Amino acid sequence: MEFIPTSSQTIGPYFHVYFKAEGVVGCIAGPQAKGERVRLACRVIDGLGVPIADAMLELWHADAAGIYDHPDDPRRAQADPAVRGFGRLPTNADGICEFETVKPGRVPGWSGTLQAPHINVTVFGRGLLKALSTRIYFANDPANQNDPVLTLVPEDRRATLLAQRDSQQPGLWRIDLRFSGDGETVFFDV
């Protein structure tokens, strides 16, 4: 008997057919949103540094006051109505997708602690049987030093979760999400 993998056992090579225009959301916060406007350029690359041109990223974050537009957030009634809090984009030929939003505020963590501003990320892609989950923090934010999740990550790997401000383009932050190899992004088992 011979076992032959079928398309139901892997996400590729047909993953790109699910990129429908109605599911694409690159603007997470409208122009009236309160807070610091940011553009976030995420580049998805493999272990050799080759761009992954057909990945899909989903982002989820709080508004500038640290309130999620979600029924489980007890402060949802005070959430900024101009912040959707959710985005979804496929990567382009260079492995990049760019979101428009505001820098999220600090949200409650365990035992009354506050988490540093961060964006929750889910990565889908051809060949991944399970989506990858990670976070994006903002480099040089003083709250990073005490974030209860970031401090669980070994210090020498934390940089893989830090978006860097682009010195040439105001408001633009960049991060590489590397699937494997040197500088592999820290992904969480959630």
How far is CA 174 from each of CA 100, 128, 164, rounded to the nearest angstrom? 12, 24, 5
- Tokens encoding 127: 């060949």
Q: How would residue 46 be classed by pLDDT, with cut points 50, 70 and 90?
A: very high
Interatomic CA distance for residues 90 and 105, integer angstroms: 26
Mark 6-17 as b/e (b = at least 16 C-beta within 10 Å). eeeeebeeebee
3-state secondary structure of 22: helix
How far is CA 47 from each of CA 50, 120, 172, 174, 180, rounded to the nearest angstrom? 7, 22, 25, 18, 4
Q: How would residue 158 be classed by pLDDT, with cut points 50, 70 and 90?
A: very high
- Tokens encoding 135: 């976070």
Domain boundaries, the chain: 7-11+24-178
Give CA 12 to chain center in angstroms.
22
Q: How would residue 16 be classed by pLDDT, with cut points 50, 70 and 90?
A: low
AA identity, residue 68: Y
Q: Which residues contact 121 (CB under 8 A, 6 or more apart)?
A: 42, 57, 58, 59, 133, 134, 135, 136, 177
- What is the pTM assigned to this prediction? 0.89
pLDDT digits (tens, 9 = 90+) for 103-157: 999 999 888 899 999 999 999 988 788 899 999 999 999 999 999 999 999 999 9
Mean pLDDT on 146-174: 97
Topology at the third CATH level for domain 7-11+24-178:
Protocatechuate 3,4-Dioxygenase, subunit A (2.60.130)
- Tokens encoding 131: 């989506």
User: Could you tell me what percentage of the chain is helix, strand and coil, using 3-state DSSP and rounding each to the nearest 5?
Assistant: 15, 30, 55
Interatomic CA distance for residues 93 and 13, integer angstroms: 16
